[in-house]
Amino acid sequence: MKLIAASAHSTAAEGGKVLEIANTDDPRALELAGVTRIDLHFPKFTDGRAYSQAFLLRRRLGFTGEIRATGDVLIDQLVQMERTGFDVAVLRADQNIDFAQRQFDRYRGFYQGDAVTVQPVFAREGAAA
């Protein structure tokens, strides 16, 4: 997962169309043709609706572009964000990027499937029977 400091975040598109989606919007009702990046907003860290939106976009709608977390994004949320389909997280201004990167070193693998790795560990190729 790519991490961006709040001060370095830009809402401008880099060669494609960007959608900014409120956490109250239903991604299934959106026109995604030509969209290369979707920004999902966390108004507070305790509001997890953007996790569901990211999962819907990846697994049910097959969106392959960038999904970016914006808003009240804390270090503690990053691993779950990645597992639900986010590619990029714009950290809240008081969060340290170096500390954030260490979160991924703490959790290297998971038994259950997720938006990125669909199959659980026992069903993956090379798993012991």
**Separation between Cα atoms, residue 123 and residue 8, nearest integer Å:** 40
Burial of 103 (0-12, 13-18, 19+ CB in 10 A): middle
pLDDT, one tens digit per residue, over 25-65 is: 999 999 999 999 999 999 998 999 999 999 999 999 999 99
Cα torsion 99, 110, 28, 53 to 10°: value is: -30
Token pair in block for residue 60: 């049910």
Q: Whose CA is closest to 81, among 33, 42, 25?
A: 42
Number of neighbours of residue 38 by Cβ within 10 angstroms: 24
pLDDT band at 13 (very low <50, low <70, confident <90, very high): low
pLDDT reading at 129 higher than 60? no
Give pLDDT, residue 48. 92
State yes or no: pLDDT of 24 exceeds 60: yes
